[in-house]
Structure 1
Amino acid sequence: MKLGAFSVSLTVKDIHVSKSFYEDLGFQVFGGDITQNWLIMKNESCVIGLFQGMFENNILTFNPGWNQNAENLESFTDIREMQKQLKDKGIQLLSEADVTTNGPASFTIKDPDGNLILVDQHV
């Protein structure tokens, strides 16, 4: 199973304060829209998302079909196949990708400690 690019999506209280803090750590804005209260920031191969007012807890995020530069990969495991493999292993999905579609889709699961994991395919 190829999970693709990895990032941590952080829920923040003040996106401007958080942006400045992570810039001090060497991160640079890579994507997003601060006027919509979300940014994607990068420091070498480390990627974080800053999200103000969009969700309650931090989320581990995987993007099948992308590398760490958000570039499309030639070969990757489609999200619907991942979903099937996880279900076959008895992992409960909190939300599911529509198996009758192709392309972009997502699903969510929780790890044994309650950490939310979003698998979000953009291609």
Structure 2
Amino acid sequence: MKLGAFSVSLAVKDIHVSKAFYENLGFSVFHGDINQNWLIMKNEQTTIGLFQGMFEDNILTFNPGWTQNAENLDSFTDIRDIQKELKGKDFEFATEADESTSGPASFVIKDPDGNVILVDQHV
């Protein structure tokens, strides 16, 4: 099962303070809009998202169909196929992708400790 690009989505209190902190740690803005309270930052192949007021908790994020640089892949495992495989392994879903559709979709599961895992396909 190929889950795609990985990042950590952080629920931050002050996006300006967090941006400065991660820049001092060697990250630079890759994508996003600080005026909309979200940024994607990179340090080599490591990606973090900063989100103010959008999520309650930090989230582990996977993006099927994308490289670590948010470039579309020619071949990848569709999110609906990933979801079907996980359902066959008795995973519980907080939200599900509509299996009658194609293209962009997402689902959410939680690990045994309650950590949120978002699988979010953009292509």
TM-score tier (shorter): over 0.9
Matched, 1:9 2:28: no
Question: What residue number does 2:78 align with?
Answer: 78
Instruction: Find the aligned partners of 1:86 and 1:7 in 2 and give their Cα distance.
Output: 20
Matched, 1:65 2:69: no
With the length of structure 2 as denominator, give the TM-score of the two structures: 0.99
Question: What residue number does 2:18 align with?
Answer: 18
SS where residue 21 of structure 1 aligns? helix
With the length of structure 1 as denominator, give the TM-score of the two structures: 0.99
Instruction: Find the aligned partners of 1:62 and 1:82 in 2 and give their Cα distance.
Output: 11
Aligned length: 123
Q: Which amino acid aligns with 2:64?
A: P
Gap regions ≥5 residues in structure 2: none
How far off is 1:75 after superposition?
1.1
1:1-123 aligned at under 5 Å gives the runs: 1-123=1-123
Question: Structure 1 residue runs of 4+, over 4 Å off?
Answer: none
Aligned-residue sequence identity (percent) comes to 78
RMSD value, Cα = 0.4
Instruction: Find the aligned partners of 1:34 and 1:67 in 2 and give their Cα distance.
Output: 23
Gap regions ≥5 residues in structure 1: none
SS where residue 20 of structure 1 aligns? helix
